[in-house]
């Protein structure tokens, strides 16, 4: 199988739950930096950033994304994390490993890669980029601490993947 594009950034989280919207804010900022003003990443499945890179956003990862990611050489999953993870920003490679969860609405990046491979015999190289969230209440604003981490994560994406 031959990938048609180099990069896919998949952001997930709930922008109406404070810092859980970190990936949404990061992707909107990235699109704005590439001249795409007022992008609506909720309405479209795939949003083009440039000729080599696309963006996909949803409230959660879905098994349906497994087939989509096979069109790319690399996929970066972007999410917020809680204080259970030591680093404020974490970027790590992901292996295609099925992970089973007792929750019906939990699908991990590693499981997405594994499902892609089981369907097509191919999976892109994968990474997980996560930023620490501090408040997850009902509001649409990131805390100042998480916004600073989003700004740092944007630099990482531009340096490492674009």
pLDDT digits (tens, 9 = 90+) for 45-92: 899 999 999 999 999 999 999 999 999 999 999 999 988 888 999 999
The answer to whether the predicted template modeling score (pTM) of the entire model surpasses 0.85 is: yes
Q: Are 28 and 41 a contacting pair, CB within 8 Å? A: yes
User: Residue 18: what pLDDT?
Assistant: 96
Tokens of 115: 């499902």
The rounded distance, in Å, linking the Cα atoms of 100 and 103 is: 9
Residue 3's φ and ψ, nearest 5 degrees, are -70, 145
Mean pLDDT within 13-25: 96
What is the pLDDT confidence band of residue 5, given thresholds at 50, 70 and 90? confident
The fold of the 5-160 domain, in CATH, is Rossmann fold (3.40.50)
Residues in contact with 98: Cβ distance below 8 Å, sequence separation at least 6, in sequence order: 110, 111, 114, 115
Tokens found for residue 67: 């087939």
Residue 109 is predicted with a pLDDT of: 95
Q: Report the side by side order of strands in the sheet with 53-58.
A: 47-50, 53-58, 5-12, 72-81, 125-132, 89-94
Separation between Cα atoms, residue 65 and residue 10, nearest integer Å: 9
User: Residue 119 in 3-state DSSP?
Assistant: helix
> What is the reported pLDDT for 4?
81
| Token code pair at residue 114 | 């594994």
Would you state the structure tokens that stand for residue 15, as one six-digit string? 């922008």
For the chain, what are the domain ranges? 5-160
**Strand pairing category for 53-58 and 47-50:** antiparallel
Q: How confident is the model at residue 101 (pLDDT cuts 50, 70, 90)?
A: low
């Amino acid at each position: 199988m031959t990938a048609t594009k180099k990069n896919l950034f998949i952001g997930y989280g709930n922008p109406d739950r404070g810092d859980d919207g970190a990936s949404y804010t990061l992707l909107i900022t990235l699109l704005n930096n590439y001249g795409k003003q007022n992008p609506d990443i909720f309405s479209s499945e795939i949003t083009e950033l440039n000729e080599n890179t696309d963006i996909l956003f949803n409230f959660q990862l879905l098994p349906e994304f497994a087939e989509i990611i096979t069109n790319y050489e690399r996929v970066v999953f972007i999410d917020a994390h809680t204080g259970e993870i030591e680093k404020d920003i974490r970027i790590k490679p992901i292996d295609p490993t099925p992970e089973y969860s007792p929750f019906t609405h939990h699908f991990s990046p590693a499981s997405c890669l594994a499902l892609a491979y089981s369907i097509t015999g191919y999976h892109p190289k994968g990474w997980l980029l996560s930023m620490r969230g501090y408040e997850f209440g009902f509001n649409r604003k990131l805390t100042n601490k998480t916004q600073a981490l989003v700004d740092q994560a944007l630099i990482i994406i531009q340096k490492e993947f674009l």
